[in-house]
């Protein structure tokens, strides 16, 4: 079997599990869960520094950006303009070019606004950013993003934080067949088996935040997702058997007494 490498924007990563750093009870809980997950890319948000309370712990003090790749996101942005401003600032913090673009269109279901997302992808790619794009599970839109210079296509499984798992397996498979870009399921997973399903559909990776951070035992769930992603990838590459509606005995018929 040829070597199985996970490459985004020409850089190789060890883990196909990308995790978010939001919603944890504390920074130390977040850092420990990330370690257990084995992730080497984590998403981070760009927000105002608290200038009145300087004793608040800093993310960078808990997760070393030299060891773990920070993937700045645009969570909470509802226009292309807001998203571009956020990512230009993110780049300024420490030279980050690999970014996650997420332009939301609806406050209730948090579905992406694909018109604004597409516009932003074009601009960011021209400015030299390496853009991983959160999008809906629409193969046509995924193709447009690819043509606009996206570095990874990241369709949702279900609404962000919903825990519903992959709702449209067919579309994910169609997107898989049409693109050679990294395909990463982003948002909506609820449990480890959802990640396995994503990997078995041929996705290159999954991005998980809430399902780990809000599990009753986040550390155990981080480990479960790590194993689930590995298992799913191995299963995908192993070539599953054909499905049949008939029984097919596992023991030989010949020699039955």
Partner 1 sequence: MKKTNKIKIKINGKIKLLINDYKLSDLLKNIKIPIKKVAIELNEEIIDKKKINKIKLKNNDKIEIVHFIGGG
Q: Find the radius of gyration of the CA atoms of the chain.
A: 20
User: Catalytic: which of 3, 10, 66, 100?
Assistant: 100
Using CB under 8 A as the binding rule, the residues of this chain from 98 to 157 that contact partner 1 are: none
Buried b (16+ CB within 10 A) or exposed e, 71-109: bbbbbebeebebbbebbeebbeeeebbbbbbbbbbeeee
Considering only CA atoms, which of 10, 16, 66, 11 is closest in space to residue 233? 16
Distance of closest approach, residue 49 Cβ to partner 1, in angstroms = 5
Residues 185-214 touching partner 1, rule: CB under 8 A, are: 187, 207, 209-210
Shortest separation between residue 207's beta carbon and partner 1, angstroms: 8
Decide if residue 162 touches partner 1 (CB under 8 A): no
3-state SS assignment for residue 212: helix
Rounded Cα–Cα distance for residues 236 and 217 (Å): 28
Residue list 33-52, contact with partner 1 (CB under 8 A): 43-49, 51-52
- Both tokens of 217, joined, read 């035992």
Contacting range for partner 1; rule: CB under 8 A; set: 2-10, 14-22, 189-197, 233-241: 14-22
Binding site for partner 1 (CB under 8 A): 20-24, 27, 30, 43-49, 51-52, 54, 58-60, 70, 72-73, 75, 85, 88-90, 92-94, 160-161, 187, 207, 209-210
């Amino acid at each position: 079997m040829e070597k199985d490498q996970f490459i985004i924007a020409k850089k190789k990563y060890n883990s196909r599990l990308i995790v978010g750093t939001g919603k944890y009870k504390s920074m130390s809980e977040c850092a420990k869960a990330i370690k257990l997950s084995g992730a080497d890319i984590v998403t981070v948000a760009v927000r105002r520094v608290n200038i009145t309370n300087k004793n608040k712990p800093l993310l960078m003090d808990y997760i070393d950006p030299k060891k773990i790749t920070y993937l700045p996101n645009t969570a909470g942005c509802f226009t292309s303009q807001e998203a571009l401003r956020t990512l230009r600032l993110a780049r300024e913090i420490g030279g980050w070019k690999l970014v996650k673009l997420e332009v939301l269109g609806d406050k209730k279901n948090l579905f992406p606004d694909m018109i604004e997302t597409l516009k932003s992808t074009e601009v960011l790619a021209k400015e030299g950013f390496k853009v991983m794009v959160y999008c809906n599970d629409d193969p046509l839109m995924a193709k447009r993003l690819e043509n606009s210079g996206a570095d990874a296509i990241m369709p949702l499984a279900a609404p962000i934080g919903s825990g519903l798992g992959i709702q449209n397996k067919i579309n994910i498979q169609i997107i898989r067949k049409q693109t050679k870009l990294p395909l990463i399921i982003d948002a909506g997973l609820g449990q480890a088996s959802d990640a396995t399903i994503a990997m078995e559909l041929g996705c290159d990776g999954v991005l998980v935040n809430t399902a780990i951070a809000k599990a009753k035992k986040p550390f155990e769930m981080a480990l479960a997702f790590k194993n689930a992603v590995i298992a799913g990838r191995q299963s995908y590459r192993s070539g599953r058997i054909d499905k049949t509606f008939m029984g097919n005995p596992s023991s030989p018929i010949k020699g039955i007494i």
